[in-house]
Amino acid sequence: MSPLLSICVPTYNQADRVELFLESILTTVRDRFEILICDDSQSDATTYVVRKYKEKLPIKYWRRTESRGVDSALLSLLDVARGEYVWWFGDDILNPGAVDHLTQFIESTPGLAFIWLNSEDETDSASKTFGMEKTRMFCSRNELLNYDIGLLGFITATIFKRILAADAIKGAERYVGTSFVSLYIILSVLKGEGSCAMVGESCFRSKPKPSGEIRWYNQIEVFGINLYIICKANGGAFSQIALNKALTRNMVRVLKSMLVERALGYKTGFANTDLKMRKLVKIYWSNPRFWFYFIPLALPRCVLGSLYRIFTTFKRAAT
């Protein structure tokens, strides 16, 4: 019999996080899930961790001879998953009892197509991604866009019905390298039938994302450009008005992050010296709010930093 849930783990040189995940799931009822691990690591450390838990958990593990990136790993995992539902799990920490809670929720809520999961900061349990405690059902797909559209592509935060994603794998291949194949698949799922829910209880803990953080992808490219392109290409689950509003909110978040991090003196994160402004202009030129941020972004960093210090001084004085 196929499992209810396929927990799919793409990993790259993070044996310690894989071990934390496997240790945290030991007490979960085994016949409800399978664990699939796609390992692009350069060392044998993750292999040794998996061997340690192989007899205790229903694990399927394969190590690729060369790293082909997270997008490729996600599609490979989805292709071999057997569960009714798929949960891509990143380098986050699973909260105790989360898998049992989620499988019970799925079994007691027939017709689910998509589940959005709440989470908390690793260093601050009071800091939740979504400011809610109770689980809610969405009456319309458009209601999802009241939240951060970028989080639809956050792999640990979403569970989806596998059959609704199966036909999207081929189309998703053209977006390998965008760091947002996950978003393409979720948007494909949302075009299918079934209800959508958000689980209010925190299911996992994530690392904090400080300003200027160096990540394995270019944040401006991924959130400012790739997100827009993928949503426009595969956002048919939503009304165009609702989608455009969500994309504008995302654009403003990206541009504000670029301004603030540049003003603070960073040259990494959203303050990356490779601004991608030509691409941003090409995408957002018709949006009036874009030009409000474009002018200060064109200023030298030293000038922008001085203006930001003046602004924050007046803001503190006003409060």
Chain segment 125-152, per-residue pLDDT in tens: 778 899 888 999 999 999 999 999 999 9
Could you list the residue range(s) of the whole structural domain that residue 252 is in?
Answer: 219-318
Same-domain status, 46 and 151: yes
Same-domain status, 100 and 124: yes
* b (16+ CB within 10 A) / e for 92-127: bbbbeebbebbbebbeeeeebbbbbbbbbbeeeeee
What was the pLDDT predicted at 57? 93
What was the pLDDT predicted at 29? 67
pLDDT over 90 (residue 217): no
Same-domain status, 176 and 243: no
- Say if 34 falls within a structural domain: yes
> Which of 178, 206, 234 delimits the end of a domain?
206
Same-domain status, 178 and 226: no
pLDDT over 90 (residue 5): yes
H helices present in the chain, as ranges: 15-24, 45-53, 69-80, 98-108, 162-166, 169-172, 181-190, 219, 227-234, 240-263, 277-284, 288-297, 301-318
Same-domain status, 174 and 102: yes
- Say if 214 falls within a structural domain: no
> Which of 167, 185, 206 delimits the end of a domain?
206
Band (pLDDT 50/70/90 cuts) for residue 254 is very high
What was the pLDDT predicted at 111? 95
Neighbours of 217 (CB within 10 A): 15
- Say if 213 falls within a structural domain: no
Same-domain status, 120 and 168: yes
- Provide the CATH number for the domain around residue 33: 3.90.550.10
Same-domain status, 158 and 271: no
What was the pLDDT predicted at 311? 85
The rounded mean pLDDT for the chain is: 93
- Say if 49 falls within a structural domain: yes
Question: What is the tens place of the pLDDT at every residue in 225-252?
Answer: 999 999 999 999 999 999 999 999 999 9
The number of folded domains in the chain is: 2
Q: pTM of the entire structure?
A: 0.94
Question: What is the tens place of the pLDDT at every residue in 171-200?
Answer: 999 999 999 999 999 999 999 999 999 999
- How far apart CA 33 and CA 29 sit, in angstroms, is 8
- Say if 93 falls within a structural domain: yes
Same-domain status, 192 and 233: no
What was the pLDDT predicted at 22? 95
- Say if 83 falls within a structural domain: yes
> Which of 206, 238, 257 delimits the end of a domain?
206
Q: Out of 3-12, 109-118, 126-135, 140-149, pick the least confident.
A: 126-135
Same-domain status, 144 and 68: yes
Question: What is the tens place of the pLDDT at every residue in 62-94?
Answer: 999 888 899 999 999 999 999 999 999 999 999
Same-domain status, 118 and 245: no
What was the pLDDT predicted at 146? 92
Percent of the chain with pLDDT over 90: 78
- Say if 100 falls within a structural domain: yes
Band (pLDDT 50/70/90 cuts) for residue 11 is very high
What was the pLDDT predicted at 168? 95
Same-domain status, 144 and 80: yes
Cβ within 8 Å of residue 116, ≥6 positions away:
130, 144, 147, 151, 152, 157, 158, 196, 197, 198, 199
- Say if 50 falls within a structural domain: yes
Question: What is the tens place of the pLDDT at every residue in 17-69?
Answer: 999 999 999 887 677 899 999 999 988 999 999 999 999 999 999 999 888 89
Same-domain status, 188 and 237: no
Question: What is the tens place of the pLDDT at every residue in 269-293?
Answer: 999 888 788 999 999 999 999 999 9
